[in-house]
Chain A
Amino acid sequence: MDALTPEIWTSIRLTIELAAVTTIILLIIGTPIAWWLARSPAWWKEAVATVVALPLVLPPTVLGFYLLIALGPGGLGGVIAPLWGARTLAFTFEGLVVGSVVYSMPFVVQPIRNAFEAMGDRPLEVAATLRASPMRAFWTVAVPLARPGLLTGAVLGFAHTVGEFGIVLMIGGSIPGRTKVLSVAIYDYVETSQWREASILAAGMVVFAFIVILAMTLTEKRVARAGE
């Protein structure tokens, strides 16, 4: 472990912090959005679903460009940031969280929406006939039944946030301890020809991605078997 300098450790900690905060926020706001998309009869809901899915297709630099404007002193960031005495949300950890939430949203919302759609109306109708309020039905029936989808969404959201690069570079820059996450750190190491550090981190990311995808596939298989 001596190979890892304190600087690298700071980047790792920061990355995990960013991914964890982003995942929690995404579960909190993504679940109601997924619920609404799965159950609303509104004809324009697919338009909303498309907006949520845009980051799948847009180059991160486009997203990053708009976010930079929005988070900067001339945008929304200039209104919110002064609340705690800052001038802008750009190039801050908070700004990165906002960017990651937008960028990883489709990866969290889609599996949760699928899970809510797959369960159909029946379990909720049954709950209602058993006097469960919509709130109780949601927590005691919908959420447990959608658990595989929630789990997939959380894992994908976390892993995708760990792996993002373009947006971070656009709105966060590379400030150690604040915005210098792993993917940016690798870029910096390569730029400054620190190949050893770069290859350690790159290999670490490959192992991380492998483990995440394998673990998720195995979990899904197990859940599918249990549901039979």
Chain B
Amino acid sequence: MNERHIIRVAFRGRLGRFDLDAAFALPATGVTALFGPSGCGKTTVLRCMAGLQHLDEGFCAIDDDIWQDRSSFRPTCRRPIGYVFQEASLFPHLSVKRNLLYGAPRDWRTPGSSGIGFDEITELLGLATLLDRAPRNLSGGERQRVAIGRALLSQPKLLLMDEPLAALDRQTKDEILPFLERLHDTLSLPIIYVSHDMTELERLADHLVLMQDGRILATGPLSELQSDPSLPLAVTRDAAVSLDSVVETYDTEYGLTTFKIDGARFVVPAGPEPVGERRRVRIAASDVSLARDPPRESTILNILPVRILSATRVNAQEMLAVLSLKADGSGPRLLARVTRRSWEQLGLAKEAAVYAQIKSVALAPATKP
């Protein structure tokens, strides 16, 4: 899936407590997250895409391959999808290996057959030592890894994941997230990922579909929606931006890694990270403060010239500023959450060129406290 493929989805119907009216189009690359509060219809949209739920008014297609429209409905077993449920839902009567191979094409052993290989998946998900075990003898995290591998080995063109980490405890989540990140990096398989946990999405998602009460609030690249002050994400207390960066250098003396993002550089006390690798960093709005002049002496590592693109009053005390890392206003965005008093005392305003002092830059794959 190297060319630009488009997934088009539209579902409308009454669902118990609310009306679902969700229509969006997505590039069929990378990880797209369906994000919203619990009960907003995310899972229903995913189940409709899989054909597990059938609304009368539904449309779903990848490019010209129509899975359902007003007059046709392709049953789940004939849609080229993989589906990972919130609970691993392994077949209890089959071994791990036979679970993994349940959906695999019959010729999976044939050498040279294209697609996702058995050895590749067991290696990627760390399943090699579990193959002969029964599902009941696995831990929660291991089960979910088997479920992910099983879905991948059915050679899907689209992987649908319904809160695959929600049923797991914090520690197990942190054990699985790196596997998902490797999946994202090694397989060119589009993934639609349902979650109500922003920290997961900051690490995994490329695109975002924001949902609320059965409706679509916005769709777009993750960083764009994160920094849009008209959307609920940017004004939450733990608002942050995720930036895809490249490791530039590693300072062995102080243990500092320098990341480059579209011209800007961030120094992070982390690493060593392999030079040239892509890493995602997270910068919280509350970790960014603003100054008129560059502080001459400071313990803060990252002080960058920025331009204020917009300013929104969040509440009586605080302002939220959207910053551009480039003087011309293009390029990646940062968020800064500062007090209204400071804002007015410094006389800050839209279009002003200021300095952003970034107290901390988190390397996304690191375990969150």
Contact = CB atoms under 8 A, between A and B. Distances in A.
Contact of A125 (B52, B92, B150): B52
Given A125-B76, A228-B136, A132 B92 contact: no
30 contacts: A122-B89, A123-B89, A123-B91, A125-B83, A125-B85, A126-B83, A126-B89, A128-B51, A128-B52, A129-B50, A129-B52, A129-B81, A129-B103, A129-B154, A130-B102, A130-B103, A130-B150, A130-B151, A131-B77, A131-B78, A131-B154, A132-B103, A133-B77, A134-B77, A137-B77, A140-B102, A145-B91, A145-B92, A227-B92, A227-B136
Interface string A110-149: 0000000000001101111111111001001100110100
B132 to A, nearest CB: 17
9 cross-chain pairs, A with B, having the tightest CB-CB distances, nearest first: A130-B103, A129-B83, A128-B76, A144-B93, A128-B77, A126-B89, A130-B154, A122-B89, A131-B77
Interface of A: 122-123, 125-134, 137, 140-141, 144-145, 147, 227-228
Contacts of A132: 77, 102-103
A134 B51 CA distance: 14
Interface string B91-126: 111000000001100000000000000000000000
Given A128-B77, A141-B91, 13 more contacts: A125-B85, A126-B91, A127-B102, A128-B51, A129-B82, A129-B154, A130-B154, A132-B77, A132-B103, A133-B77, A140-B102, A145-B93, A147-B93
Nearest to B98: A140
A214 B92 CA distance: 26
Nearest to B82: A129
B56 to A, nearest CB: 16
Contacts of B51: 128
B98 to A, nearest CB: 10
Contacts of A147: 93
B75 interface: yes
B67 to A, nearest CB: 13
Interface of B: 50-52, 75-78, 81-83, 85, 87, 89, 91-93, 102-103, 136, 150-151, 154
A129 B92 contact: no
- Which one of B75, B82, B85, B91 has the greatest number of beta carbons of chain A within 10 Å? B91
Contacts of A128: 51-52, 75-77
Nearest to A121: B52
Contacts of A130: 102-103, 150-151, 154
Contacts of B103: 129-132
B166 to A, nearest CB: 16
A134 B82 CA distance: 17
A96 to B, nearest CB: 36
Nearest to A135: B77
B319 to A, nearest CB: 47
A136 to B, nearest CB: 8
A129 B89 CA distance: 12
Contacts of A127: 77, 102
B331 to A, nearest CB: 41
Contacts of B87: 122
A128 B103 CA distance: 9
A199 to B, nearest CB: 45
A125 B51 CA distance: 10
A40 B52 CA distance: 16
- Which one of A126, A137, A228 has the greatest number of beta carbons of chain B within 10 Å? A126
- Which one of B51, B77, B87, B103 has the greatest number of beta carbons of chain A within 10 Å? B77
A1 B136 CA distance: 49
Nearest to B104: A130
B162 to A, nearest CB: 11
A157 B81 CA distance: 42
Contacts of A140: 102
- Which one of B51, B76, B81, B87 has the greatest number of beta carbons of chain A within 10 Å? B76
Contacts of A144: 93
Contacts of A131: 77-78, 103, 154
B320 to A, nearest CB: 41
Nearest to A128: B76
Contacts of B78: 131
B222 to A, nearest CB: 26
A145 to B, nearest CB: 6
A150 B154 CA distance: 30
Contacts of B150: 130
